[in-house]
Amino acid sequence: MEGDLNQKLLIDGKENENEDVKFKDKLWTEMKKMWIVAGPAIFTRFSTFGVTVISQAFVGHIGPTELAAFSLCFTVLLRFGNGVLLGMASALETLCGQAYGAKQYHMLGIYLQRSWIVLFATALCLLPLYIFSTPILLALGQDEEIARVAGYIGRFFVFVVLSFIISFTCQMFLQAQSKNMIIAYLAAFSIGIHIFLSWLLTVKFKYGLGGALLSTILAYWIPNIGQLLFVTCGGCKDTWKGFSMLAFKDLLPVVKLSLSSGAMLCLELWYNTILVLLTGNMQNAEIAIDALAICLNINGWEMMISLGFLAAASVRVSNELGRGSSKGAKFSIMTTTLTSLAIGSVLFLIFLCLRGRLAYIFTESEEVANAVADLSPLLACSILLNSVQPVLSGVAVGAGWQSIVAWVNIASYYLIGIPIGVVLGYVVGLGVKGVWVGMLLGTFVQTVTLVIITWKTDWDKQVVLARSRVNKWFVPESRETNSNQENGA
C-alpha cells in the first residue's frame, strides 16, 4: 500500500514537473514572439520621434521665429494628420493580423492595397490644412510673422503627410508577419542620414529652413522606399502576390473599420492637446506650460515603449484569434500586459524619486524646476497607467473592437476626465495640477473599463468572429491569381 502511495506521489510529482516545464516553454516562446514585434516597434518609434527632435534642434539655430513656426506646424498640423492617418491605418493591424493567423496569406497584400486607397483619399482631404496653413493659423489668432513662416513649412509638410500613407500601412503589414526588424534597420539608417543632411544643408551650405525641411522629408521617405522594395521584391513572397484590381472591391468594411480606428486614436491624442490648451489659460501660464511641456516630453518618450507593446499586443492577439486559439490569445494578453506593467512600475519609481532634478536637463529656471517637481507624482502616475492602457488598446485593435473603445474614450475622457479637470483646475483653484488630476482620472476610468471588457470577453466567441471576418472577405488564391493575370499584374 505504502509503495503504491509513493509511486502515485512520484507520478504526480513528475506530471507537475512536466506542467512546469511546459509552462516555462510556453512563456519563453510567447516572450520571444512578443519581443520580436515590440523590440523593433519601440526602436522605430524612438527613431521617428528623434527625427522631429533633430529637425527642431537645427531649425532652432536658424532663428526663434522659424523654431516657433516649426513647433506650431508640428504640434497643431502635423500631429493632427499623423493621428488621423495612423488611426485609420490601424484597421490593417486587425485585418492582416487575423488573416495571417488564419493562414490566408495572400489576403494580406489585398488588405494592404485597400488600405492605401482609403488612406490616400483621407490624405487628399487633409492637404488643404497644410496648403492654406497661414490663413488658418491667422484665424486661430497666431502671430502674423510666425503664421507666414508656418505657411512656408506647411507646404513642405504636404510631402510628409503623404509619406504616412506608405509608412503606417507597410509597418502594420510587416508587423502582422513579425517581419518588422527591417523597419528598425531602415529607421536607424534614416535617422543617421537625417543628422548628416541636416548639418550639411543648414550648417555647411547655409540653405536655412528649406534645407532643414528637405532633410526632414527625406528622413520620412527613405524608410518608405526601403519598405516598399522589401514588400514588392521578394521579402514577402507568401503575402504579396502583386497589384490586383480586387483591392477596389469590398472597400466599405475597410472604410468602416478605418473610421472606427481613426476615431479611437484621435480621441486619445486630442485629450493631451486639450490639457495643454487648458493650461494656457491659467495665471503664470508661461511657467505652467514650460513645466507641463517638460513633463509631457518625458511622458512622450516613455510612451514610445508603451506603443511598442501596443503593437505587440495587437499582432499577437490578432494572430492567435485568426489561428483559432482563444487560449493563445488570453496567454498573449497576460504576458504582454504583465511585461509592460513591470517596466512601467520601474519607471514609476524612478521618476517618483528623481522629481524636479529631471527638469534641469531641459531648463535652468529654478521656478520651472520646482513646478516640475510639483507635477512629478502625476507624471509618475501617468507613466504607470501608460504601461497598461496602450496594451489594452492593442488588444482591442487585435480583436477589432475599435468602435467600442472609441465610445469608451468619449465617456472616460470627455464626460469624466475633462469636466473634472476643469472643476479642479479653475473652480477649486488647483491650477495645472487639478487639470492633470482630472485627466488622470479619465485615463484611469478608461483603463479599468478596458480591463473589465477584456476580462469579461468570451474569447471563444472572438475566435468565431475573427474567422467569420476572414471568411467574409476571403478571396480564393486561385481567383486572385487569375485576376492578376487578366490585369497583367
Q: Which three cell numbers mark 273?
A: 492637446
**Higher local confidence (pLDDT), 315 or 296:** 315
**Higher local confidence (pLDDT), 1 or 102:** 102
Which of 85-94, 156-165, 480-489 is least confident? 480-489
Q: Does the pLDDT of residue 485 top 60, yes or no?
A: no
Helix-strand-coil percent breakdown of the chain, rounded to 5?
Answer: 90, 0, 10
- In the chain, what is the straight-line distance between the N-terminal and C-terminal CA atoms, in Å? 75
pLDDT at res. 273: 65
Task: Please list, residue by residue across 309-333, b when 16 or more beta carbons sit within 10 angstroms of its beta carbon and e when fewer do.
Answer: bbbbbbbbbbbbbbbebbebbbbbb
Q: What is the pLDDT of residues 350-362, one digit of tens each?
A: 888 887 677 776 6
What is each CA distance from 50 to 251, 370, 413, in whole angstroms?
Answer: 35, 27, 28
Q: What value does the mean pLDDT take over residues 174-190?
A: 92
pLDDT at res. 361: 65
**Higher local confidence (pLDDT), 10 or 336:** 336
Which of 185-199, 265-279, 384-398 is least confident? 265-279
pLDDT at res. 315: 92
Does the model's pTM come out above 0.75?
yes
Question: Which residue reads 502583386 in cell numbers?
Answer: 242
Mean pLDDT of the chain: 84
pLDDT at res. 332: 93
Alpha carbons 178 and 316: distance in angstroms, whole number: 9
Helices then strands (H, E): number in the chain? 19, 0
SS (H, E, C) 220-245: HHHHHHHHHHHHHHHHCCCCCCCCCH
Q: What value does the mean pLDDT take over residues 457-467?
A: 89
